[in-house]
Structure 1
Amino acid sequence: MDAASLTRELVSIPSHEDPARVGDRLVEWLETHTDADVERDDHGNVFARRGSGEQSLALVGHHDVVAPDDSQLDDDEYVFEADGDRLYGRGTADMKGSLAAMATAFSDADPAGELVFVSFVGEEQGGIGCRAAIDDGFAPDFAVVGEGSTGYSAAGVTDVAIAHKGRRGSTITARGAAAHASEPETGENAIYRALDAVDIVRDLPFPETSVLDHEVAGSLVATEIEGGSAWNVVPEECTVTVDERTVPGTRAPLDRVERLDGVSWAVEQDLPPMACGNGRFADVALEAADTVQDGTPEFVVKPHATDAGWLASRAGTTCLVIGAAEPGEAHTATESVSLAVVDRCEAIYRSIAETWA
């Protein structure tokens, strides 16, 4: 079965509430089409291993998806359709197209070392499956994560992402003392304290770094504010949410807001960024991508987090991100993937598996 056909099959299986069915199909497919050792761990992650060597390369995907749009669902089954080269439906771009390409590349490659195929669960819930696998000892030396890297340098070109940003979501809480609005001097206005904190956030420099001579710039934005209980009451509490797109090795010093009276700061989510520090591995991947397409691929930086961040930060894995999805496709009502690019990614993954070591 080729990558395009497997993509259609995987996309047809609902996996937004329970990814078990598509996990079942992956195990069955791997046992039928490969001679690999195939297993499913207690978390629902699917692993397959073949080849041997002192170091290991993992082809990494995930088989859970976000909830479909109403137009992508019919009587609890996924609706998908082809229009020319493109396949439309939930999970086509994120990321069953690249997952199918990884499975077929894993099957067909003559691996240069130990080759691992893994499909995680819970990626869309903050990398639950990946983190659990790492806690259980999963730590490949190298990994290619199949999230989207197509269309970054130029339309239709599949690039090699050598880094991606992370996300740190946090909450600033300002507390004061309630009072009647006609006598504001008898209270402490929490909104005013929160605005003083926002001024600090606004003046902080964006985090930035360099990865293999490519600049990676983060961002820092106050995104929500909530406070007050009535038009005639001095508010005693106000909260501000902050979205920080983090970069490898640094964070914005948001703790400075706690120098203000009555202000505290708490991190709610911290998805780690990723940086590839191995230029040779990156060059091997770029050469593989260059060989199989007419366009000229480049090293690029992805704006959002993937499981590569967990692998890099917690398992010490050297990671790259290469995949068929294009910017703006994932999580949309019109999500789609080019089946020709899925086949291209299969060729890239196979080439890397045969040459990386």
Structure 2
Amino acid sequence: MTRTLEILDRLIAFDTVSRNSNLELAGYAADILERHGFAVTRIPSADGGKTGLYAEIGPTGDGIMLSAHTDVVPVDGQDWTRDPFRLTREGDRLFGRGTTDMKGYLASILSLAERAARADLREPLKMVLSYDEEIGCVGIQEMLDRVAPLIGQPRACFVGEPTEMQVAVGHKGKAALRATCFGQSGHSALAPNFVNALHLATDFVTELRGLQRRFAEQGHRDPAYSVPYTTLHVGLLTGGTALNIVPDRAEITFEYRHLAADPAADILRAIHAAAERVSETYRRDWNGARIEIEQYNAYPGLDVPDSDCVIGLAQKLARTNDTTKVAFGTEAGFFSELGIPTVVCGPGSMEGQGHKPDEYLTLSQLRACDEMMDRILEDLSH
């Protein structure tokens, strides 16, 4: 615990909000790993302002992989009563941005790396550190084609997002989309003579709400989730330049989060069909009316079969008999799609502390994570 806390203190001091570079933190982590015998590969972003890391120690083989991201969410507009980028210990609580999500886990695996250097490993220990997870798993998507050949096929991957050290075997997939609605500009005194792009937009939002109702009332359900069905959410609606001008363009930013039983391709087809229904109505007045749909980001869900051996291994290592599913997205789906048995398990509570002011991690949770790391090291040494 002492070494893990020392590392966590350094990690919190790096302001790795996603809009900033993570190079200093990555350099600190790479130095620890390389000094303790890990082969480290840097995987830079396209602009060179950030980097991911792949690290491995031990003999050639499958082994176990640990995954963490290095970025954190902003503190802007939040009412912090402590310095968010300075680790503050008060009783059983460790305060600081990222303590729960997920620098506590990162500190624990870097501490493990130092202990692994002294172990007689029979299988390799592998680590993947990414960037830009908090803005939609962007970093791992950029890294994947370069990191996949290095990873091989570990027999288990543990993604350390906060689950209170429970074994999470599922989360929904997500897609972020933009709908651009095209109408006609004109003087508002003659508004009925023109197709108002905001009218297309609001009618399309109504269609999306109808699609949401169908998923809620008739769609597949998974009671392991607090919201047990596929969801659609409209987050932004913009359009128009002045009150006396009929807007010729409006934009909607929206998302869907889907159960594994609701394929993304089917949802996307339903969205395009809704856009076409709205457009066709307005084409009676103007043939150029249309709604264009662009998907600008997506990440896969995670749905581990009950029969997968990784569940039993994770339960043994985390000392729990239960499994859970989480509401938030993670990078786990990307590793699962590579054929790597993957679960999510890490210290802290996303619901209780994640992304909030005065974010904290309890010492007991960090201790439980360190103890799991010791059991992973023991598993790799026998």
Is this a same-fold pair by TM over 0.5? yes
Give the corresponding residue for 2:283: none
Task: Work out whether residues 94 and 331 of structure 1, in 8 Å CA contact, stay in contact via their aligned partners in 2.
Answer: yes
Identity of aligned residues (%): 24
What is the TM-score with the length of structure 2 in the denominator? Answer: 0.78
Q: What is the deviation of 1:276?
A: 2.4
Q: Distance in 1 between matches of 2:37 and 2:91?
A: 34
- Once the two structures are TM-superposed, the CA of residue 8 in structure 1 deviates from its matched residue by 2.2
The equivalent residue for 1:26 is 29
**Cα distance change, pair 286–227 in 1 and its aligned pair in 2 (3 A):** same
Mapped partners of 1:243, 1:210: distance in 2: 19
Q: Counterpart in 2 of 1:175?
A: 182
Cα distance, 1:279 vs structure 2: 2.0
CA offsets 1:229-260 (integer angstroms, 9 cap, x no match): 33344332222222212333612231122323
Letter in 1 for 2:293: W
Aligned to 2:48: none
Offset at 1:209? 6.0
Q: Which amino acid aligns with 1:321?
A: V
Secondary structure at the counterpart of residue 358 of structure 2: coil
Matches within 5 A, 1:288-327: 288-290=317-319, 298-313=322-337, 315-326=338-349, 327=351
In structure 1, the residue matched to 2:299 is 271
1:199-247 deviation per Cα after TM superposition (whole angstroms, max 9, x unaligned): 2211213397688x95663311222222233334433222222221233
Counterpart Cα distance in 2 of 1:140 and 1:306:
20
How has the CA–CA distance of structure 1 residues 233 and 63 changed in structure 2, closer, same or farther, with 3 Å as cutoff? closer
Tell me if the contact between 1:72 and 1:90 (Cα under 8 Å) persists in the aligned partners.
no
CA drift at 1:53: 5.4
* Distance (whole Å) between structure 2 residues aligned to residue 42 and residue 198 of structure 1: 39
- Report if the CA contact (8 A) 1:81-1:87 is conserved: yes
Closer, same or farther: CA 72–316 of 1 in aligned 2, 3 Å: farther
Aligned equivalents of 1:14, 1:186: Cα separation in 2 = 54
CA positional deviation for 1:54: 4.0
CA distance in 2 between counterparts of 1:346 and 1:162 reads 21
Cα distance in 2, alignment partners of residues 220 and 300 from structure 1? 23
- Superposed CA deviations along residues 147-171 of structure 1, whole A, max 9, x for unmatched, are 1111xxxxxxx21111122321212
User: Is the 8 Å Cα contact of residues 257 and 263 (structure 1) preserved in structure 2?
Assistant: no
- Residue number in structure 1 paired with 2:5: 4
Which shows bigger deviation, 91-100 or 298-307? 298-307
Aligned to 1:219: 231
Matches within 5 A, 1:114-125: 114-125=124-135
Residue 310 (structure 2) pairs with residue 281 (structure 1): yes
How much has 1:72 moved relative to structure 2? 8.2
Q: Partner residue of 2:160?
A: 146
Q: Structure 1, unaligned stretches of length 5 or more?
A: 151-157, 291-295
Q: 1:72–1:89: 8 Å Cα contact kept in structure 2?
A: no
Matches for 1:12-91 after TM superposition, within 5 Å: 12-16=13-17, 17-32=20-35, 34-43=36-45, 44-52=51-59, 54-69=61-76, 71=80, 78-91=85-98
Q: Is the aligned partner of 1:345 residue 2:362?
A: no
Query: Structure 2: where are the runs of 5+ without partners?
Result: 46-50, 280-289
Which secondary structure does the structure 2 equivalent of 1:224 belong to? strand
Q: CA deviation at 1:137?
A: 4.1
Query: How many pairs are equivalent?
Result: 340
Structure 1 contact 223–241 (Cα < 8 Å) conserved: yes
Change beyond 3 A, Cα 1:12–1:227: closer
Provide the secondary structure at the position in 2 that maps to 1:136. helix
* SS, match of residue 206 in structure 1: helix
Residue 234 to residue 12, structure 1, CA distance change in 2 (3 Å) = closer
Residue type at the aligned position of 2:332: A
Measured on the aligned residues, the alpha-carbon RMSD in Å equals 3.0
CA contact (8 A) 2:68 2:129 kept: yes
Preserved contact between residue 275 and residue 291 of structure 2 (Cα < 8 Å): yes
Structure 2 counterpart of 1:256, which letter?
A: A
Q: Which of 179, 194, 197 in structure 1 is aligned with 2:201?
A: 194
Matched-pair contact (CA < 8 Å) for 1:88–1:335:
yes
CA distance in 1, matches of 2:240, 2:138: 36
Q: Which amino acid aligns with 1:82?
A: R
CA contact (8 A) 2:308 2:341 kept: no
Tell me the CA shift for residue 340 of structure 1.
2.0
Q: Which residue of structure 1 aligns with residue 287 of structure 2?
A: none
